[in-house]
Amino acid sequence: MGSTWRLLQLADSGFPTGGFAHSGGLEAAVQQGEVRGAPELRRFVRELLWQAGHGGLPLVSAAHGEPSELPALDARAEAFLSNHVANRASRTQGRAFLDTCARIFPSPVAPLREAARAQGLRFHHAPVFGAVLRTLDVERTDAQRLFLSLTLRGTLSAAVRLGIVGTHESHQLQHQATPLLDTVLEQCAGLGVDALAQPSPLLDLLGSTHDRLYSRLFLS
């Protein structure tokens, strides 16, 4: 039962991991004219969730299954994320997530953080996320669901702050995305790291322009 409460705490929008400082490439897509309103946002969310399923979930799953493999999986993420903006965002979010969890759940997570520091990890988000949730005794399927859910929620929150949709509409979109979340989870939950893929190259390309935007609200 304790793991259920921890899962709910991790899912809380007030959990201080800094994820809301990132738009997942949405800000760049807006400034490039690819996303102007709710219809384009739905398309963007669909592409982003498939990217999370194929490019992130295998690392989450592998690290959850064997946290001792975190250094190798972190190196795999470093090689896979060739987009410098996505790579930097992954490292920033992973470090923030691990540091926050180590402070809030010191007994189970602090040793993981110290080992990661000693091994010189880059702290990529997906493998760190999987290893931390395993350490917190959260079931693998719940960890996978949470990873996809947080990806969706973070992007929709960014959409609200960018003025694309309002708060109520963003939650309607989140609810409407439930079948998509189920489909992505069903198709990607069993993928191994050898299946890592970039299914949306346009999304990756747009995100890589973030540093060159005239003005920026988000870090990525």
pLDDT digits (tens, 9 = 90+) for 138-159: 999 999 999 999 999 999 999 9
Contact 170, 48 (CB under 8 A): no
Q: What is the pLDDT of residue 196?
A: 97
Q: What is the pLDDT of residue 170?
A: 95
Residue 1 has pLDDT above 60, yes or no: no
> Residue 207: which region, alpha, beta or left (left: phi > 0; alpha: psi -120 to 50)?
alpha
Query: Which of 192, 218, 205, 188 is CA-nearest to residue 52?
Result: 188
- For 40-61, the pLDDT digits (tens) are 999 999 999 999 999 999 999 9
CB atoms within 10 A of CB 101: 25
Residue 91 has pLDDT above 90, yes or no: yes
| Average pLDDT of the segment spanning 116-145 | 96
Residue 2 has pLDDT above 80, yes or no: no
Q: What is the pLDDT of residue 13?
A: 82
For the chain, what is the mean pLDDT? 94
Start-to-end CA span in the chain (Å): 36
- For 166-178, the pLDDT digits (tens) are 999 999 999 999 9
Query: Which of 220, 60, 71 is CA-nearest to residue 148?
Result: 60
| pLDDT band, residue 15 (cuts 50/70/90) | confident
- For 17-48, the pLDDT digits (tens) are 877 788 999 999 999 999 999 999 999 999 99
Q: Please give the share of the chain, as a percent, with pLDDT higher than 90.
A: 83
Q: What is the pTM of this model?
A: 0.96
Q: What is the pLDDT of residue 182?
A: 97
Residue 118 has pLDDT above 70, yes or no: yes
Q: What is the pLDDT of residue 16?
A: 82
Contact 7, 142 (CB under 8 A): yes
Residue 125 has pLDDT above 80, yes or no: yes
